[in-house]
């Protein structure tokens, strides 16, 4: 029922939503059975779904396995594929809008009535699920729903939102400048290809997203959901949970709770204890504390039969690439880039990720990479500190 205090202003919109929803008959859409008024109070009658909302399920289950999340989100996309074909956008997709039945079957509820060329959604969506065009009031279309589904899928796999900030301005800036958080770092079980698919769905520019729900669906169906990284010769195969817990505990003494994210992110792409600890050590600014962490890490390595080495610039490996200038250069591996990003972020914040990615395309050496990135630090003292910390953390001659 529509609350009495809203009935005067929203009565016609409420009825329009009901009429639109009544046209949608699909196994993954909650059926609208009737609507009308009772003593001047508008009401709608919907199919009764015997199951909790996805929001409640996630509260009790925590992150879902990528395969399970994709199976459920594919049904949401099937529902949108059908509704969009009938000229109806949802514009209110969130975890509480998805109802979960037995065997992970889902139904999408709360359909809006905006036509495909609508400008504003009828109902207010929680900020975390809004596409950039909904913040700015520009035209919305099928790609607006695609964005919301991308947020939902990211949340299902990680139990965090892809964008965060203290205010709306900061959230929009992250959408435009940095993009979503690293899916694989937050859930190493997820494949890198799945991460790229979600990044496409969450593109700031609608023109870079999947054009339709069906295109998003096809991409998910053609990509492996679970990480399956072939180990290099001599690498560890998988990580013992106890090893990662001990390393995380040692790191948390110096950088706090963020250690959990740092360890998961590094462990998702590194298979060697020595390399893992070197990358994580870059997050510790104080030289003495950094050495203290590495000493603890050595003890973990001995206990697991691994030999740990002191961090040096020579440890970083690189592959030959053609730079944007057309010359042959050397590209640092992901572990090296993680270490550089961790150092730079202390001085410029989250944009460090974007800067490192840009500068790595013209990579010639770690020394040159640090020097180029230092130019983005406006304060002379902080710039010097960045270069000094790079020397101390990498053992490199800069």
Quickly list DSSP for 234-287. Answer: T--SS--HHHHHHHHHHHHHHHGGGHHHHHHHHHTT---HHHHHHHHHTT--SH
307 in Cβ contact with 299 (< 8 Å): no
Tell me how far apart the alpha carbons of residues 171 and 20 are, in angstroms, rounded to a whole number.
32
Strands (E), the chain: 32-38, 41-46, 98-100, 106-108, 318-322, 328-332
Q: Which of 347, 338, 358, 352 is nearest to 389 (CA)?
A: 347
Return d(Cα 17, Cα 122) in angstroms, integer.
Answer: 9
Handedness of CA 376, 382, 387, 393 (dihedral sign): negative
Decide if 92 is catalytic: yes
3-state SS, residue 179 = coil
In the 8-state DSSP scheme, what is residue 205? S
Q: 38, 92, 235, 338: which is the annotated catalytic residue?
A: 92
User: E strand or H helix at 80, and its extent?
Assistant: helix 66-85
List Cα–Cα distances, 107 to 21, 66, 221, 353, 374, in angstroms: 13, 19, 19, 38, 51
Judged by DSSP in three states, 108 sits in strand
| Catalytic (active-site) positions | 92
């Amino acid at each position: 029922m529509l609350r009495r205090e809203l009935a005067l202003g929203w009565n016609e919109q409420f009825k329009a939503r009901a009429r639109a929803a009544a046209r949608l008959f699909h196994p993954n859409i909650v059926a609208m059975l009737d609507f009308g008024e009772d003593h001047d109070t508008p009401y709608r009658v919907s199919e009764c779904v015997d199951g909790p909302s996805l929001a409640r399920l996630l509260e009790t289950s925590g992150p879902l396995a990528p395969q399970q999340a994709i199976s459920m989100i594919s049904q949401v996309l099937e529902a949108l594929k059908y509704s969009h074909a009938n000229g109806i956008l949802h514009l209110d997709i969130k975890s509480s809008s998805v109802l979960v039945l037995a065997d992970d079957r889902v139904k999408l509820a709360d359909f809006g009535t905006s036509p495909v060329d609508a400008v504003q959604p009828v109902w207010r969506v929680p900020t975390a699920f809004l596409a950039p065009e909904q913040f700015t009031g520009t035209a919305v279309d099928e790609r607006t729903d695609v964005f919301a589904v991308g947020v939902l899928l990211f949340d299902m796999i990680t139990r965090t939102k892809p964008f965060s900030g203290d205010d709306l301005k900061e959230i929009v800036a992250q959408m435009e400048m940095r993009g979503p958080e690293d899916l694989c770092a937050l859930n190493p079980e997820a494949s890198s290809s799945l991460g790229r698919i979600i990044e496409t769905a969450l593109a700031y520019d609608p023109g870079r997203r999947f054009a339709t729900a069906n295109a998003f669906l096809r991409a998910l169906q053609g990509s492996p959901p679970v990480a399956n990284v072939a180990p290099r010769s001599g690498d560890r195969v998988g990580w013992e949970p106890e090893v990662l817990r001990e390393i995380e505990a040692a790191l948390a003494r110096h950088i706090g709770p963020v250690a959990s994210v740092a360890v998961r992110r590094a462990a998702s792409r590194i298979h060697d204890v020595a390399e893992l600890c070197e990358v994580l050590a870059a997050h510790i600014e104080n030289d003495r504390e950094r050495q203290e962490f590495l000493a603890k890490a050595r003890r973990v390595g001995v206990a697991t039969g691994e030999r740990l080495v002191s961090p040096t610039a020579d440890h970083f490996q690189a592959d030959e690439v053609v730079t944007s200038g057309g010359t042959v250069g050397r590209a640092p591996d992901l572990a090296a880039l993680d270490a550089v990003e961790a150092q730079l972020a202390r001085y410029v914040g989250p944009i460090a990720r974007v800067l490192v990615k840009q500068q790595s395309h013209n990579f010639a050496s770690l020394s040159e990479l640090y020097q180029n990135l230092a130019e983005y630090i406006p304060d002379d003292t902080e710039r010097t500190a960045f270069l000094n910390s790079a020397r101390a953390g990498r053992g490199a001659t800069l």
